[in-house]
């Protein structure tokens, strides 16, 4: 039997984790033969609620769940970890400016970066979901100088999955027939869902849909505003779909995508005019344990303007923190 993988999850009492943890324990990331030990981090006042979630995990009698640790100490949560899902973040509260939110989260991710640096296995793979996810991931990396930066990523997969689903519906094809969709940039309404290379059953998706106006005036804003639309309809933010996207991201990273493109926020290598130091959504393929940027894609004028806008936002977020 495999030895258990240690999986750190922060914000364990929150909405996203109420879906995420059960799927992790079921084997949705590492497969049906890989036991997991969950190492759950929360702020002290949320620890009683985490204990309730742990009771429910116990009541599922998951055969793969080899242990659960509950703590408010990041050093304990990150100890010897193989995979980390950083979900917890400071939500925007009334009267809070965007800058205050950035700064509050920068402090959280600084502390967690230091703990990651000290306690995690160097092979650990990290996804940041808590918003502003890309910038939080950059702060995490900056505070973990001894930890491989390429193992720190941010979640663009929900935007990617949202785009896939809209494309499939418009083209009248199954989601699984689509490939080579890319979402670039920040996990925010400025993200750029790029259909130029997309295929359905190997044929050009833009040709199949044949409606460039729909793409620019409907698809892009629909994906950008999808989170808000869910909040309006449900009265609460998207949690199950966010958890599902985090599962997809980590499963693909650990198990590979067989050549299929997915979108991940990864530390920039300077390609496509994305400055180093940013953690930016790009198209990648994965082989088990590694992501590989899709390189050499042409960037036309529209793509350049969309990319520049979302890169500009990422730069501003980091600059606002640097100035403090
Ligand atoms: P959720 O579980 O709903 O969301 C957690 C984070 O994920 C938020 O920052 C949220 O951003 C973000 N997120 C990213 N993408 C999405 C998406 N598409 N849809 C929804 N959310 C998305 O938040 P809760 O408030 O229910 O729970 C957060 C928990 O984290 C709390 O229990 C809190 O105590 C904890 N926490 C833990 C910390 C720690 O472990 N040290 C530090 C800070 C908080 P957005 O706010 O923009 O929706």
Q: Given 160, 187, 249, 292, which residue is catalytic?
A: 187
**Residue-level pLDDT at 91:** 87
In the chain, the percentage of residues whose pLDDT exceeds 90 is 95
Q: What is the pLDDT of residues 8-29, one digit of tens each?
A: 999 999 999 999 999 999 999 9
Q: What is the pLDDT of residues 33-76, one digit of tens each?
A: 999 999 999 999 999 999 999 999 999 999 999 999 999 999 99
Is residue 166 marked as binding? no
Rounded to whole angstroms, the Cα distance separating 310 from 263 reads: 15
Q: Tell me the angle at which helices 240-255 and 157-171 cross, rounded to the nearest 10 degrees.
A: 100
Q: Bigger pLDDT: 92 or 316?
A: 316
Is residue 88 marked as binding? no
Residue nearest to atom 39 of ligand 1 (CA): 42
Q: What is the pLDDT of residues 192-209, one digit of tens each?
A: 999 999 999 999 999 999
Annotation says 187 is catalytic: yes
Beta-carbon count within 10 A of 287 CB: 13
78 φ/ψ angles, rounded to the nearest 5 degrees: -95, -5
**Residue-level pLDDT at 1:** 59
Does the CB atom of residue 266 touch ligand 1 within 6 A? Answer: no
Q: Is the pLDDT of residue 153 over 90?
A: yes
Kindly state the tokens that stand for 30: 């590492």
Q: Could you tell me if 151 and 126 are in contact, meaning their C-beta atoms sit under 8 angstroms apart?
A: yes
Distance of CA 76 to the CA centre of its chain: 23
| pTM beyond 0.90 | yes
Task: Kindly provide the ipTM of the predicted complex, given to two decimals.
Answer: 0.92
**Residue-level pLDDT at 14:** 98
Q: Is the pLDDT of residue 96 over 90?
A: no
Place of tokens 């509050």: 104
Q: Could you tell me if 281 and 191 are in contact, meaning their C-beta atoms sit under 8 angstroms apart?
A: yes
């Amino acid at each position: 039997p495999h030895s258990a993988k240690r999986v750190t999850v922060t914000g364990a009492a929150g909405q996203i984790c109420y879906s995420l943890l059960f799927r992790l324990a079921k084997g949705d990331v590492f497969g049906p033969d890989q036991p997991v030990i969950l190492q759950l981090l929360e702020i002290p006042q949320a620890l009683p609620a985490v204990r309730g979630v742990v009771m429910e995990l116990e009541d599922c009698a998951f055969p793969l769940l080899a242990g659960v640790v509950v703590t408010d100490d990041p050093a304990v949560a990150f100890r010897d970890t193989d995979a980390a899902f950083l979900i917890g973040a400071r939500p925007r509260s009334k009267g809070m400016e965007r800058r205050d939110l950035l700064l509050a989260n920068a402090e959280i991710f600084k502390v967690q970066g230091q703990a990651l640096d000290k306690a995690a296995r160097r092979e650990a793979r990290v996804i940041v979901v808590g918003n502003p996810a890309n910038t939080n991931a950059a702060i995490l990396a900056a505070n973990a100088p001894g930890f491989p930066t390429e193992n720190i990523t941010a979640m663009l997969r929900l935007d990617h999955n949202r785009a896939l689903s809209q494309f499939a519906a418009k083209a009248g094809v199954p989601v699984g027939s689509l490939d080579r969709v890319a979402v670039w940039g920040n996990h925010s309404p400025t993200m750029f869902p790029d259909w130029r290379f997309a295929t359905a059953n190997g044929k050009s998706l833009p040709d199949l849909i044949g409606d460039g106006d729909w793409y620019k005036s409907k698809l892009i804003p629909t994906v950008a505003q999808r989170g808000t639309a869910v909040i309006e309809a449900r009265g609460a933010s998207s949690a199950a779909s966010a958890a599902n996207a985090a599962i997809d991201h980590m499963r693909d990273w650990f198990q590979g995508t067989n050549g299929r493109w997915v979108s991940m926020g990864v530390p920039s290598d300077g390609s496509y005019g994305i400055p180093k130091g940013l953690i930016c959504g790009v198209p990648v393929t994965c082989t088990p344990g590694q992501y590989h940027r899709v390189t050499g894609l042409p960037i036309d004028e529209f793509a350049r303007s969309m990319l520049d806008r979302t890169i500009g936002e990422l730069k501003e977020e980091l600059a606002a923190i640097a100035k403090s």
